Amino acid sequence: MTPAQIRSEVFAALQGIAPEVEPATLRSDRLLRDEVDLDSMDWLRFLAALHQRLGVNIPECDYQQLTSMDVLLAYLEQRLAAPATAMGSTRPL
Protein backbone atom coordinates (compact mmCIF):
# COMPACT_ATOMS: atom_id res chain seq x y z
CA MET A 1 0.00 0.00 0.00
CA THR A 2 1.41 3.39 -0.97
CA PRO A 3 1.64 6.33 1.44
CA ALA A 4 -1.07 8.10 -0.58
CA GLN A 5 -3.39 5.10 -0.23
CA ILE A 6 -2.75 4.90 3.51
CA ARG A 7 -3.45 8.63 3.85
CA SER A 8 -6.69 8.23 1.92
CA GLU A 9 -7.82 5.35 4.15
CA VAL A 10 -6.93 7.31 7.29
CA PHE A 11 -8.96 10.31 6.13
CA ALA A 12 -11.88 8.08 5.18
CA ALA A 13 -11.82 6.48 8.65
CA LEU A 14 -11.55 9.90 10.28
CA GLN A 15 -14.48 11.28 8.30
CA GLY A 16 -16.53 8.25 9.32
CA ILE A 17 -16.09 9.38 12.94
CA ALA A 18 -16.04 13.15 12.38
CA PRO A 19 -17.77 13.91 9.07
CA GLU A 20 -17.19 17.64 9.46
CA VAL A 21 -13.41 17.20 9.14
CA GLU A 22 -11.91 18.61 5.96
CA PRO A 23 -8.62 16.84 5.18
CA ALA A 24 -7.30 19.87 3.32
CA THR A 25 -7.55 22.04 6.44
CA LEU A 26 -5.77 19.65 8.83
CA ARG A 27 -2.28 20.54 9.98
CA SER A 28 -0.44 17.24 9.89
CA ASP A 29 2.13 18.37 12.47
CA ARG A 30 -0.40 19.33 15.18
CA LEU A 31 -1.98 17.13 17.83
CA LEU A 32 -4.53 15.11 15.88
CA ARG A 33 -7.09 14.70 18.65
CA ASP A 34 -7.07 18.46 19.27
CA GLU A 35 -7.07 19.27 15.57
CA VAL A 36 -10.30 17.32 14.97
CA ASP A 37 -11.72 17.53 18.51
CA LEU A 38 -11.98 13.78 19.20
CA ASP A 39 -12.91 12.66 22.68
CA SER A 40 -11.56 9.38 24.03
CA MET A 41 -14.45 7.28 22.70
CA ASP A 42 -14.20 8.84 19.24
CA TRP A 43 -10.42 8.21 19.29
CA LEU A 44 -11.01 4.53 20.05
CA ARG A 45 -13.64 4.30 17.31
CA PHE A 46 -11.18 5.93 14.90
CA LEU A 47 -8.43 3.44 15.79
CA ALA A 48 -10.90 0.55 15.41
CA ALA A 49 -11.89 1.92 11.99
CA LEU A 50 -8.21 2.00 10.98
CA HIS A 51 -7.87 -1.62 12.06
CA GLN A 52 -10.93 -2.56 10.04
CA ARG A 53 -9.87 -0.62 6.91
CA LEU A 54 -6.16 -1.48 6.95
CA GLY A 55 -6.03 -4.73 8.90
CA VAL A 56 -3.42 -3.30 11.26
CA ASN A 57 -3.50 -3.99 14.97
CA ILE A 58 -2.62 -0.94 17.03
CA PRO A 59 -1.74 -2.08 20.54
CA GLU A 60 -3.08 0.04 23.37
CA CYS A 61 0.48 0.71 24.52
CA ASP A 62 1.06 2.58 21.20
CA TYR A 63 -1.94 4.92 21.48
CA GLN A 64 0.01 7.64 23.30
CA GLN A 65 2.64 7.92 20.58
CA LEU A 66 0.08 8.55 17.80
CA THR A 67 0.03 12.28 18.38
CA SER A 68 -0.17 13.87 14.93
CA MET A 69 -1.25 12.89 11.45
CA ASP A 70 2.43 12.75 10.39
CA VAL A 71 3.28 10.39 13.24
CA LEU A 72 0.18 8.26 12.63
CA LEU A 73 0.89 7.90 8.92
CA ALA A 74 4.54 6.96 9.54
CA TYR A 75 3.43 4.43 12.18
CA LEU A 76 0.89 2.85 9.81
CA GLU A 77 3.39 2.73 6.93
CA GLN A 78 5.85 0.92 9.20
CA ARG A 79 3.21 -1.52 10.46
CA LEU A 80 1.99 -2.30 6.95
CA ALA A 81 5.54 -2.84 5.69
CA ALA A 82 6.50 -5.17 8.55
CA PRO A 83 5.96 -8.93 8.35
CA ALA A 84 2.54 -9.82 9.74
CA THR A 85 3.86 -11.98 12.54
CA ALA A 86 6.46 -9.48 13.71
CA MET A 87 4.03 -6.64 14.18
CA GLY A 88 0.87 -8.48 15.16
CA SER A 89 -1.04 -7.52 12.04
CA THR A 90 -4.09 -9.50 11.02
CA ARG A 91 -3.78 -8.62 7.36
CA PRO A 92 -3.55 -11.57 4.98
CA LEU A 93 -0.12 -12.64 3.79
What's the CATH number where 60 sits?
A: 1.10.1200.10
Give the pLDDT score at 70. 94
Q: Would residue 16 count as lying in a domain?
A: yes
Residue 46 lies in domain: 3-87
pLDDT digits (tens, 9 = 90+) for 29-72: 899 988 888 999 999 999 999 999 999 999 999 999 999 999 99
pLDDT of 14 higher than 60? yes
> Does some domain include residue 93?
no
**What integer pLDDT is reported at residue 83 of this predicted model?**
66
pLDDT at position 82:
80
Percent of the chain exceeding pLDDT 90 equals 68
Own/partner long-range contacts of 27-34 (Cβ < 8 Å, ≥24 apart) = 27/69, 28/68, 28/69, 28/70, 28/73, 29/68, 29/69, 29/70, 30/68, 31/67, 31/68, 32/66, 32/67, 32/68, 32/69, 32/72
Tally of domains within the chain: 1
Whether residue 19 lies inside any domain: the answer is yes
Does the pTM surpass 0.85? The reply is no
